[in-house]
Chain A
């Protein structure tokens, strides 16, 4: 038998010296808030892009193509330097003792939401394409307005058709939260860098712990979304 006790001792000290769970909790919070933000903004963008109004279509297309093709790091750093340092956008209470932490967290959420909204928009548009034209025509033919047709008939089916691609966006978002470390948000990868600096002797162990942590976060999302996409699929 291989003696595993040195390994389990090392894991034990790592977990007692560093708050790994708190760091992953920060990752979860970043993911959750950014997901809500990007879903709201992404839906709006998708509505703009499928609307019959050319200026809205153009606005949506410009946003998506600009944001989607910009590195996330640039957007996050841009939020920090541009929105906060330059424009003075304050998202947290400046007199609170945790101002810097809160401010950075919220800036990161803004950046992640802005970025992933572009992908949510495209996932939804692919969902819209799964809805046959006849559905919207039937909706209009019973006297629903454009907005009613969209909200009552097209979007509900589009969301169902978009579950699988939306799942991919959530998975990417979860992993992309690590970029928030660049503006000092103490999420999982931030803690990992700190730990590697102080415990280079157990480098691979540290990698292993964080890789496993991310797999544990992301794997259920994938499984859940696949199951959901089957359950919600619109039978035609």
Chain B
């Protein structure tokens, strides 16, 4: 290596000396490469800039032992980005300065824009509209594909649907049960305190039954599935976009809406109502156990009283919500997955947006259901 052949490599140094003709000169000595400059660049830079201003100054670089592009650029910037007229430079070091003159061309700065906040707001609105349009478009495409599927049922992606059903449904049973049970217990515990004060113990059945079956069960299950499966769907499609797998499917003439998106929507639309039933059931068990301990209502009489307190139509309403929530979550997750740009950051943003949007959409849809069906299934016996 160079350092082995050279005697000793000295630290980089700047000195003022007198040149042969008596004029004042700046002599640079030692190693001006990255290894030496890494820790000294700042101090050397300020030293150089202090001494450099005089354009007629004589520069003696012949004493430099080692040089690389980093050192050359540092010196050249001290020169004010042009070569000084009087310069002594070792021939071997010429090459590091040879292409520096082209570096002077500065990149143009971004112009000031006073309307920026307005523009940003407009862009956000347009983006939302674009998302809405994209989701509706995707939904339309899926409907068209489904009609084609009805005519040729054998060509359907049944295998994919079954696999998705297992992933989004069966594998979610544990977490939905755990959360549902705890919510049931907590809700029952809090209500029992209030009901006891009014001596209205028996109404715990109405309260829990209506609250859980009609509202809480569907929303809790949907939020859990959005976080669990929605993010997975977006990430999967996003990675497939990054790795060009989606393009590979397209060029093989396999439409990705049929192979990838339709199975997910169908699977979630089937799994979601079932998960809701499951979550509500477990939550009711939790509530009944808690009511038994707090209010002394036996679990048996809790479930005997349930049909009278909660009309059956509420179950159908919950299942209907499930189909809509499931399809919404899948549709939104797929939409954001397909929009992922081929880079890692976009993948992260897409997944976050997908989960946030689908949870919001679920809550909005739930409110719409509440308004439309405000007269259905609510009996005051």
B partners with A: no
CB within 8 Å of B: which residues of A? Answer: none
